Amino acid sequence: MRRFFKWLGGFLLVLLVLNVWMFWPVRLAVPLLDASIDLPAAHPPPDMAIYALPTGAMHSQAVFAYRGGTPGEHRDFTMTAYLVRHPRGDLLIDSGFGTQVDAQFARLPMLMQVTSTYSKGTPAARQLAAAGIEPGSLAGVLLTHAHWDHVSGMTDLPGVPAWLPEAEAAFVHGDLPMAAIAHSMPNLALRPYAFADTPYLGYARSFDVWGDGSIVVVPAPGHTSGSVVIFVTLPGARYAFVGDIVWQSEGIERPAERPWISRHLVDLDGDQVRAQIEHLAALHQRFPQIVMVPAHDARPTAAMPRLTP
């Protein structure tokens, strides 16, 4: 019996050490940006606008969102699609939860199912229709990446293409578990795009969607092979939609990466994600007028208008 309690004490000590190691509040370094980097010129049309379309949330704790998060502090990981209205074509950024979310959630790896709960809101397609916007009229959905919670609403947008870089199209066509939902969508129309060798805010390549600097996409691999950051410039406002490079704003403001267990569950390449966080943190310090928008943090979008019928 004494040997058993000795073994149990050692086991509990190992668990304690592992927990401290995984969740210890380590802050990342913020590199110095090259002095030549400045805000790029943009010429958004005067009637360009953006709307937040919240579609639901997953429920977790701050401790799982970033290193240094408080255990027991509730956090809602919001699922939001963003409508960008532009004279050349309206686009969604990500699609949020769709009407098939229950069936999609049931296909996730068991560890994700048992550690997550979620609540449903109104799918983006229904919000668009209620506001008098025909969902099929969209020019497309710009995906920050193709994980299930970002493509879920595509099931309600038949014929609307998903715009994504060639690397992310390969991810969708592959057989990795995290691509399974997107891979299995029979009517998911992909519209791959290529990046030009045009630098943008320290990124070597970029894709200017409408050619006026109002929507510019840059490659930001790590979370998936083709993850991107989408910069949107409106008259009088600038946003950076960073997808899941971080889940909550503290990831950029501290800056801090996800705890090991969260990284292990969702990130393809943790070193690349860390480099992306550090660069975004440097941009945040140099250009605080750019509102950083993690895909699952409602706070940066609180000031954005909602669609109304």
**Statement: 33-301 belongs to CATH 3.60.15.10:** yes
In this structure, are residues 72 and 61 in contact, taking their beta carbons and an 8 Å threshold?
Answer: yes
pLDDT at 38: 95
Pairing verdict, β 207-208 and 290-294:
unpaired
> Is the alpha carbon torsion for 121, 84, 299, 225 positive or negative?
positive
Distance separating alpha carbons of residues 131 and 135, to the nearest angstrom: 10
pLDDT at 168: 97
> Which residues are within 8 A (CB) of 149 and not within 5 positions of it... i.e. 6 or more apart?
58, 79, 96, 97
3 state SS of 193: strand
Amino acid at 260: W
In this structure, are residues 309 and 132 in contact, taking their beta carbons and an 8 Å threshold?
Answer: yes
pLDDT at 291: 98
Alpha helix ranges (H) inside the chain: 2-23, 62-65, 101-105, 110-114, 124-130, 148-151, 166-173, 180-184, 250-253, 260-266, 270-286
Domain positions in the chain are: 33-301
Please write the tens of the pLDDT for every residue from 83-109.
999 999 999 999 999 999 999 999 888
| Whole-angstrom Cα Rg for the chain | 20
Please write the tens of the pLDDT for every residue from 119-133.
999 999 999 999 999
pLDDT at 2: 52
Nearest to 98 by CA among 57, 151, 152, 157: 152
Task: Give pLDDT < 50 ranges for the chain.
Answer: 4-21
Question: Do you find a cis peptide bond into 54, omega within 30 degrees of 0?
Answer: no
What residue has token string 């009229």? 137
58: alpha, beta or left, given left = phi > 0 and alpha = psi -120 to 50? beta
What residue has token string 């007028």? 289
pLDDT at 18: 41
pLDDT at 15: 34
pLDDT at 3: 54
DSSP string, 41-53: P----TT-EEEEE
What residue has token string 């704003």? 249
Three-class HEC string of 223-278: CCCCCEEEEEEECCEEEEEEECCCCCCHHHHCCCCCCHHHHHHHCCCHHHHHHHHH
pLDDT at 149: 95
pLDDT at 10: 42
Nearest to 211 by CA among 114, 82, 88, 301: 88
pLDDT at 255: 97
